[in-house]
Amino acid sequence: MNGYQAALVVMLLVVALVAAVYALGTLAAVARSPLEGSPFLSGEPSTEHAVSRFHVRWYTITMVFLAFDMEMIFMYPWTVVVADMGATAVVEMFLFLGLLLVGVVYAWREGAFRWV
């Protein structure tokens, strides 16, 4: 069995497993009334609409989170090639991290991390 056949077998097994779990969930589902279908909020009824607006500070925190998330996405492949590339890869990564640090310092200075 070559690599493509093995990958096809694994993909078919995954599709069959997903279909089986979906079918089991459909068979075991308990019918609920529309009045009980609201989101659970620690036992309390929700006071806001589901599409309510958030305070603008949450968007700033989200952007900082996404920046560091992208950092991790770039650092994983970098760890694979850093030994082959040598010092240039290390310098490039520290420049990238320095750029992210400048963004964090700017956000901190602007008060993006204050919760009051």
How confident is the model at residue 40, as a pLDDT? Answer: 64
The number of folded domains in the chain is 1
Q: If residue 86 lies in a helix (H) or strand (E), which one and from where to where?
A: none
Tell me which residue range forms the domain holding 52.
3-109
34 within a domain of the structure (yes/no): yes
114 within a domain of the structure (yes/no): no
Q: Tokens at residue 39, please?
A: 């989101």
49 within a domain of the structure (yes/no): yes
115 within a domain of the structure (yes/no): no
Q: Tokens at residue 46, please?
A: 């929700």
116 within a domain of the structure (yes/no): no
| pLDDT profile of the chain (116 residues), mean per 10 | 87 97 87 60 70 76 84 86 89 90 86 75
Q: What is the DSSP string of 54-110?
A: PPHHHHHHHHHHHHHHHHHHHHHHHHHHHHHHTHHHHHHHHHHHHHHHHHHHHHHHT
Q: Which CATH number fits the domain that encloses residue 94?
A: 1.20.58
How confident is the model at residue 37, as a pLDDT? Answer: 58
In whole angstroms, give the CA distance from residue 106 to residue 93: 20
How confident is the model at residue 16, as a pLDDT? Answer: 97
103 within a domain of the structure (yes/no): yes
